[in-house]
Amino acid sequence: MNYLNLKQFFLLWLTLFLSILASRDVFAKDPFAVKRAKMIEIIEAEVRTGYGNLAKKKLDENVIRALNTVPRHEFVPKKLQHSAYDNRPLPIGHGQTISQPYIVAIMTNLLHVGKNDSILEIGTGSGYQIAVLAELVSKAYSIEIIEPLGKEAQARLQRLGYDNITLKIGDGYYGWEEHAPFDAIIVTAAASHIPPPLIKQLKPGGRMLIPVGSRFMVQELLLVEKSKEGKVRTQQLLPVAFVPLTGKH
């Protein structure tokens, strides 16, 4: 081996060594980084094969970045953290679940939100979905009807530094008129119908995603679009399974 080849070999070895050290450093800071990357890989594969009436077969890069940023393991009970990045829903207490990562990804993707947008979520749960959305918008609002769950989510999101999320305990069926209109609305519990207050609070040109159906029947994820003129159009996207929307309505 001549001097030039030896130098090239040394530089290659040094680059590889530094890369390994960097990877170990990242893993030490975030031991779930590898699992999160694998979760995103699985989601992207499912999106490519697709099913239902989904127009896009590829996730937006900003959505991928958000999924890779939000520490999903922080939003599940500690005893389930080892399963946080599995592509399936998990129980979070009070009879509620954290949605399957694939569903979170495609619902986020379908909303087409931007950095200057304001969004409303109905059904905070553990706070994971609104945390993902908060990575993409300027203002995120969320309503949770189960008080202990809402308080836990609020404390969690504050601890994780999400200062653009505003939560309240209440019946999400009626929306949040004080902060309306919203560029997008997402409902993470199945309703028997589309709540009229939410349609009213959706900004012209805005989008809403809502699962409609009962617990024991087929639920359909609906895309609700309001035109610039205020006309409303709905489209069935795919069958889903969500916990029911509760309240006095």
SS3 145: coil
Ranges of H-type helices in the chain: 3-29, 33-49, 61-69, 101-111, 128-134, 147-159, 196-201
Residue 83 DSSP label: G
Sheet of 165-169: strands edge to edge?
Answer: 165-169, 139-144, 118-122, 182-187, 202-212, 219-226, 232-240
85: Cβ–Cβ under 8 A, 6 or more apart, which residues? 32, 35, 36, 38, 39, 72, 73, 101
Structure tokens at 56: 């896009």
Phi, psi of 99 (to 5 degrees): -65, 155
67: Cβ–Cβ under 8 A, 6 or more apart, which residues? 36, 39, 40, 43, 101, 104, 105, 108, 132
List 99, 118, 126, 142, catalytic entry: 99
Residue 229 DSSP label: T
99 part of the active site:
yes
d(CA 86, CA 7): 44
CA nearest neighbour of 247 among 166, 190, 170: 170
CB atoms within 10 A of CB 37: 13
Q: Which residues are catalytic?
A: 99
